[in-house]
Amino acid sequence: MALTMQLFMLVLLPLSSLLPPGAQAGEIIRGHEAKPHSRPYMAYLEIQDGDDSYSCGGFLVSENFVLTAAHCKGDKITVKLGAHNIREREESQQVILVDHQYLHLDYDKEPHNNDIMLLKLAKRAKLNRWVKTINLPHTTKKVKPGTKCSVAGWGRTVAWNILTQATRLQEVDVEVLEDDKCMYRHYNAFTMMCVGDPEKGKDSAKGDSGGPLVCGKTAQGIVSWGPYCPPGVYTRVSTFITWIQETMRRLQP
């Protein structure tokens, strides 16, 4: 498809101000519609922050916790699970309010370092064929450059110069790159991943911020930030496994 038909924004415009100087929320190109309900771990986040409202992606890691990016925080978050078309009331959908938002204590919004957040749901999700959890990686085990992965979300699209939000889940295949391919000012190889394919024009930041980078059957990254062309930057999930496990264990009812 033509590039102008496949431009997907990670986050709405108010979030652009949270990115490092010279960086944007990212653009997504050459994606396509996902097979309905082929990614049952996906979560769509509706966020209200003061007078602003926007959306992010996320993914279910247990019956009552969703993992997403810290910059997706807000005053009120509603999670939609089991969705393909977010504008329809599908029988598969579960809509659950977020009870508490737990940002990483060392999150720094200026360079987007430690850009990770756990959302505790007000009630447990009902796991079924439409709603499932996804595996997390082992602690500090890095994904090798050259690994083929994918990313999905309901990002914003541009078609014929008209800006709209995708209503059906979109996805794209991407590749993990060497860290030196992301020579951005605030790139941190310990907490971030460099992903994408500039030659093929496939952006590494597919979908809304907070969505998962899936390698095999494991969520290795979280859509975080990047420029208007690939590669993009993801939060490296393996770095935060201990924090995720301890936070969930402490907060379980």
Residues serving a catalytic function are: 71, 115, 209
| Close Cβ partners of 103 (under 8 Å, ≥ 6 residues apart) | 70, 73, 116, 117
Cα–Cα distance, 213 to 160 (Å, whole number):
28
Contacts of residue 174, defined as CB under 8 A and 6 or more positions apart, other chains included, come to 148, 149, 150, 151, 195, 196, 197, 202, 203, 204, 206, 213, 230
Question: What is the residue type of 225?
Answer: W
